[in-house]
Structure 1
Amino acid sequence: MTRLGWLVPRTLGGRVVLVLLVGLLTFHVGSLWLHQAGTEALLGTTWESGLAERLVSAKRAVAALPLAERDGTAHALSSASLDLHWTAEPAVNLVEEASSRIEALRARLGELVPASDLAGLRLGYAGQGAMQADPARHLLLGALPLADGSWLNFSATLLRSGSPEHATLLSTTAMGVGILILALFVVRLIGRPLRALSEAADRIGGAGPQAPIPDEGPREVRQAAQAFNRMQGRIDRLIADRTQALAAVSHDLRTPIARLRLRAGFLDDAEAAQAIDADLDEMEAMVSATLAYLRGDAETEERRPADVVAMVETLCDAATDAGAAATYAGPPQARLTCRPVTLKRALANLIDNAAKYGGGAQVELEDRSDRLILQVQDHGPGIPEAELEAVFEPFRRLEESRNRGTGGSGLGLTIARQAIEQHGGTLQLSNRPGGGLLAAVVLPKPRH
């Protein structure tokens, strides 16, 4: 934390209040400044109107008098903000400044009074011509010709001009935009730690160990992160303990299964011995399948390039050797960076299901630039539409086709979908129009 870190509140609520307070104070000061600019603009407009009217009135009054009385009358009409005097020749020999401000002022004065009353008006700033003045006073110097060729000379304190309507609109707009920006910042400040928690929650149950959430930020966020990390640790330990317990059970069960298998061999009743062997095979398959399912996300196999076609052809040959009809159609090679053992286990479950419950497996593969599309078809009875998603639930078996007589454990499709989703892919089941089941697998190719 920086040396000024003690100024930052430790709670999320305190930080939100601090941000709002600083922001509102900043925008309030800015609004006051813009309001002051608007007030000056309004005063400038009033000053222009007064200057134009006084010049026209003074011109008319002085022009109506004899020459001897004109200068005295001009001085009498002067004030602290407007100094007037009359001369036969212009006392202010101005080289008129062709600036936008002078031109705007001339145009403005012409709008406030009849243009003919200010015809020939000369304008400039103090420091030009014969009438010298202190530039710090911001004086406007001018000379207005009379009908007989004489001149009414004047100097006036220069005020800033502008549009008060535009200044007010600017002030309101700045305040609204400022509050909007401040609100967006506050929402982002509050939402950032919540988004981190949400993303971490989504990662729970994913492949591999999960990194803990950083323990930083306001007190409430730190407490939530600490509680979340403790929860994630408990979940990881629970999964590890469960997997370890099942592995131990699987290992311990193999010894009595082997003993039972050995004793069954000494039975005189061959039919009974064969039945016992079948039950022991089913028991061993169930234990192995359950362990493979529970091991799921704890899979430590590294990704490496592999030929998916070689996997499929090997599995089809194995199914054919076992007496089932299994064929492959597709390209001779399709390489994919994957976990080969995990992916092969998933494809084996799909092909075995099709061969065992659907009377044979027809595997088709399409190799596209960004993904592999693999379809496993059979000619069996299919699955009721209402059960197409339910069969992916662990230990879910259908009465008509998935029964213990076939040796199924209810985990084949669950393990297959789990393994495919670990590769970022999808597995969907659908009934074929002509009969049978279609398992569609989409495996995206990693971008390099």
Structure 2
Amino acid sequence: MALLIAVALFAAQALNFAIAVRDRAQFRLAYATQQAATRVIDALERERTSGRALAADRGRVRRVAANPIPPALERRGEVTAELRSQLSEAGIPYRSIDTGLRPLPAEAKRDRRRADTVLVVAIEQPGKGWLTVNAPWPRPDRRLVVALIFQTLILYVVLLLPVMWIVRRISKPLRSLAGAARAFRPGDGTGPLEERGPSDVRAVIAAYNALGLRVNAMIDEKDRMLGAIGHDLRTPLAALRVRIESVDDDDDRNRMADTIDEMNRTLDDILSLARLGRPSEPPTDVDLSALIDAVVEDFRDLDKDVTFAETPRLKMHLRPSLMRRAVRNLIENAVKYAGGAEVSLLPGARSIAIEVADRGPGIPPDKLGAVFAPFTRLETSRNRETGGIGLGLALARAIVNDAGGDIALANREGGGLTATITLPRA
């Protein structure tokens, strides 16, 4: 806004300067030509009334036989045109008019304050020779430029300083509002943003604070609802688990137990995904290498083919339980669809990568991004018979995004899939 006003002021002052220069040029032209025309008219009137011809060497207006203006003098067409107009209006007959600008000698310049150039006018009258007269030619007024520059500076000070103050008063709370909106996390305990600035900006900040309160209230209500749902579902599942012990057939009892376990895992995944926006676990400093190694050891205890190349201690600030779950979900997918996984930790200068690779069937290239959507499953290779309801990758991406990182899938050369978690270094 300040820049726009500064440009507008500059344009207005430039236009003002152009108009002033034009007016000054017109004034100089009128001042010089009117003096010359008036002297010629007065001299001719005196000649007519007195009956005596103008002397060739006396007076301001002289009559000479030939054009006295040498070709080397500077000509001004506008001066000639203006003199023609004035003489025609006065009824003075003439055949031609010639004008030229002649610099004054150095000794004469000291006696003149306003002009250092003389306008020489020569008027040819039919059958009477040439009339010649000199008139002062005003010099360009440099004070006009100085005055306009000074005026422009005053305008910039008088207008721009208040405008910049107003813009700062508006933009500073708006920047605070933008920062608060970007950093908004439901339930993080951040108080309302201070309402400051002009009335309309304060109204926007007040609306943002009210919106934050409504969002937190809705999420609190959602958490209470999810807690009630989880409690109401786990209770009958626990009762079913007790009752299946009375089933005599071992195969039926085991299938029932597996179904109940799958329902519990699905319920845990759904609740975890829904509550991820407000995790109850605070970020702490953990050894990422040790965290991954612990997850890999859990799979090794279950006789799963999972390998991990140990790396030196790598300190990270994150939520360990959630990150452990994200890594576990990726390894579970690899074990489930390929029978094993190769886990590696790749530290970088600005980021850290956790890779989980397998030699399974892979994923079609056009489905690599779609599998992160909740409840999305690929029926061609990763069907319901392998287990799961399509929440593992969605939950893993949500956890990694909450930690400020990202997760990506890529097919391996020779078959298989590589899941890469990228986390920023502190």
- What TM-score range do you get, normalising by the shorter chain? 0.5 to 0.7
Q: What corresponds to 2:334 in structure 1?
A: 354
Q: How does 1:40-79 map to 2 (within 5 A)?
A: 40-44=24-28, 64-65=56-57, 73=59
Q: After superposition, where does 1:31-430 map in structure 2 within 5 Å?
A: 31-32=15-16, 35-44=19-28, 64-65=56-57, 73=59, 111=74, 118=104, 121-124=107-110, 160-161=140-141, 208=188, 215=195, 225-329=205-309, 331-430=311-410
Whole-Å separation in 2 of the counterparts to 1:393 and 1:207: 25
Q: Aligned letter for 2:343?
A: V
Which string of whole-angstrom CA distances, capped at 9 and with x for unpartnered residues, describes residues 182-213 of structure 1? xx99xx99x96998887776666789467756
User: What residue identity is the alignment partner of 2:217?
Assistant: R
Contact 2:186 2:277 in 1 (8 A): yes
CA separation of 1:332 and 1:162: change in aligned 2, threshold 3 A: closer
Aligned length: 351
Q: Distance in 1 between matches of 2:19 and 2:103?
A: 34
Unaligned runs of 5+ in 1: 1-15, 78-108, 127-137, 144-153
C-alpha distance in 2 between matches for 1:293 and 1:27: 59
Q: Assess if the C-alpha contact under 8 Å between 1:307 and 1:335 holds in 2.
A: yes
Identity %: 31
Residue 436 (1) aligns with residue 420 (2): no
* Contact map agreement 1:330 1:366 (CA 8 A) in 2: no
CA change 1:142–1:292 in 2 (3 A) is closer
Deviations 1:106-160 (A, max 9, x none): xxx974677888556521267xxxxxxxxxxx666999xxxxxxxxxx9979664
Instruction: Give the distance between the partners of 1:328 and 1:422, measured in 2 at CA.
Output: 25
Q: In structure 1, the residue corresponding to 2:282 is in which secondary structure?
A: coil
Rounded to whole Å, the distance in 2 between the matches of 1:208 and 1:384 is 40
Query: Residues 282 and 162 of structure 1: is their aligned pair in 2 closer, same or farther, counting only changes over 3 Å?
Result: same
Q: Distance in 2 between matches of 1:386 and 1:375?
A: 21
- Encode CA deviations 1:291-349: one digit per residue, 9 max, x unaligned: 11111110243333322111111111111111210011363333222222222221111
Q: In angstroms, what is the RMSD of aligned CA positions?
A: 5.0
Call closer, same or farther: CA 1:24–1:398 in 2, change over 3 Å: closer
Call closer, same or farther: CA 1:342–1:45 in 2, change over 3 Å.
Answer: farther
Normalised by the length of structure 2, the TM-score is: 0.64
Q: State the shift of 1:370 in Å.
A: 0.8
| TM-score of the pair, normalised by structure 1 | 0.62
